[in-house]
């Protein structure tokens, strides 16, 4: 009986994907009434003005394959019974190493032409969390966030001190110039000419912040986010990504969320926590909670972007108020989904 139920759920899931083509809403893989999958994983590579037809075939293929690689790295861990935290880290490390995304090498440049990286990680089991802001030398900022969580008494370290901490933890360090790519230099030049602070994906380059959320076989949730922030940022600007509750949140009581978009709005709306709070206190399901925050709270105030989320029952939400969001998800026993554009 149980397996018949699971098969039905699987068939239904497949049907939804075929019928909808590239799904763009939170109900992509909502399965509130079905059996919890053994694991679930979702990732994003940023949301923004990514119009259908705006990417050439080679670029689109490169994004899809980078998303597939990151998803596979996380899924491998979950499939072997590994933790949600390990899966989130594995997926994010792959994207930090890809120049396609605004994280790690290939991150956007500050007003001064340097790279300042932010990252955060949260574990739903005990609400433990770690984050770094404005690090300039850490190859994988998500690993620094993990070290803050596991090996320091703090939650958030910033600037020079955070770089020093990473060095003391023996994390891999690079010269700041290693992170900078020509593409980002050109992007900064354009932003400087127009005197604008830009969201990475709003200038036609269509790249972005990365994040991952996971549910593991033990029923534990985790979320992580990593970014270079916004092009032409200055004065030590920090966005939502390293802020627990804004860019990242995870609680086994409800869900795990990673956000991407215009950080100033996401901070003021405490977006990631708000999605989980709507589930916990208002009884909303994951899809409704994500939709409400992204469309009814962020959009009216001008906050463009999106969230990925997974709840404790293994439902996945991929919600955005922008034309596109690089995203992918998979649940145990199902075919992975990789998508870029909205409907
Ligand atoms: N949320 C990030 C920030 O504001 C940017 C992004 O998601 O692309 O720093």
Tokens of 287: 């899809």
What does the H/E/C string look like for 166-219?
HHHCCCCECCHHHHCCHHHHHHHHHHHHHCCCECHHHCCCCCCCEEEEEECCCC
pLDDT per residue as tens digits for the range 198-249: 655 555 444 589 999 999 999 999 999 999 999 999 999 999 999 999 999 9
| Mean pLDDT value of segment 27-31 | 47
Ligand 1 touching residue 210 (CB < 6 A): no
Please give the Cα distance from 332 to 256 (Å, whole number): 17
Structure confidence at residue 11 (pLDDT): 34
Choose between 50 and 301: higher pLDDT.
301
**Mode of pairing for the β-strands spanning 156-158 and 129-135:** parallel
CA of 343 to the centre of ligand 1 (A): 23
From 90-99, 109-118, 194-203, the region with the lowest mean pLDDT: 194-203
| Mean pLDDT value of segment 175-191 | 93
Structure confidence at residue 35 (pLDDT): 85
Structure confidence at residue 205 (pLDDT): 43
Backbone angles phi, psi at 199, to 5 degrees: -70, 135
Structure confidence at residue 60 (pLDDT): 92
The residues, ordered by sequence, that sit 6+ positions from 234 with a Cβ below 8 Å of its Cβ are: 110, 111, 112, 197
Average pLDDT, the chain: 89
The pTM for the full model equals 0.89
Report, as residue numbers or ranges, the catalytic residues.
209
Tokens of 38: 């053994």
CA of 306 to the centre of ligand 1 (A): 10
Q: Which atom of ligand 1 is nearest to the CA of 199?
A: 8
């Amino acid at each position: 009986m149980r397996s018949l139920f699971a098969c039905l759920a699987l068939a239904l899931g497949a049907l939804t994907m075929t019928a909808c083509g590239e799904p763009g809403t939170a109900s992509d893989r909502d399965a509130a009434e079905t059996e919890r999958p053994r694991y679930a994983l979702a990732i994003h590579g940023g949301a923004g003005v990514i119009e259908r037809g705006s990417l050439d075939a080679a670029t689109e293929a490169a994004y899809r394959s980078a998303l597939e690689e990151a998803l596979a790295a996380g899924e491998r861990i979950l499939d072997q019974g590994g933790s949600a935290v390990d899966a989130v880290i594995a997926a994010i490390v792959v994207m930090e190493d890809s120049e396609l995304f605004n994280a790690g090498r290939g991150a956007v440049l500050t007003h001064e032409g340097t790279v300042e990286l932010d990252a955060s990680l949260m574990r739903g089991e005990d609400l433990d969390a770690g984050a770094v802001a404005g690090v300039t030398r850490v190859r994988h900022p998500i690993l620094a966030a993990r070290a803050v969580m596991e090996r320091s008494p703090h939650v958030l370290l910033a600037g020079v001190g955070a770089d020093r901490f990473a060095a003391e933890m023996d994390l891999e360090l690079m010269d700041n110039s290693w992170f900078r790519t020509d593409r980002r230099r050109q992007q900064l030049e354009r932003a400087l000419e127009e005197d604008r602070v830009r969201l990475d994906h709003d200038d036609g380059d269509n790249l972005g912040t990365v994040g991952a959320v996971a549910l593991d076989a033990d029923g534990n949730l985790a979320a992580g986010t990593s970014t270079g922030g916004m092009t032409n940022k200055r004065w030590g600007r920090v966005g939502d990504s390293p802020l627990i509750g804004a860019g990242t949140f995870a609680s086994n009581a409800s869900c795990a969320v990673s956000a991407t978009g215009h950080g100033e709005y996401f901070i003021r709306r405490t977006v990631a926590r708000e999605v989980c709070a709507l589930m916990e206190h208002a009884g909303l399901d994951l899809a409704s909670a994500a939709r409400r925050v992204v469309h009814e709270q962020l959009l009216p105030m001008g906050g463009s972007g999106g969230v990925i989320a997974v709840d404790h029952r293994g439902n996945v939400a991929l919600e955005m108020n922008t034309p596109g969001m690089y995203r992918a998800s998979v649940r145990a026993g199902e075919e992975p989904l990789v998508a870029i554009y909205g409907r």
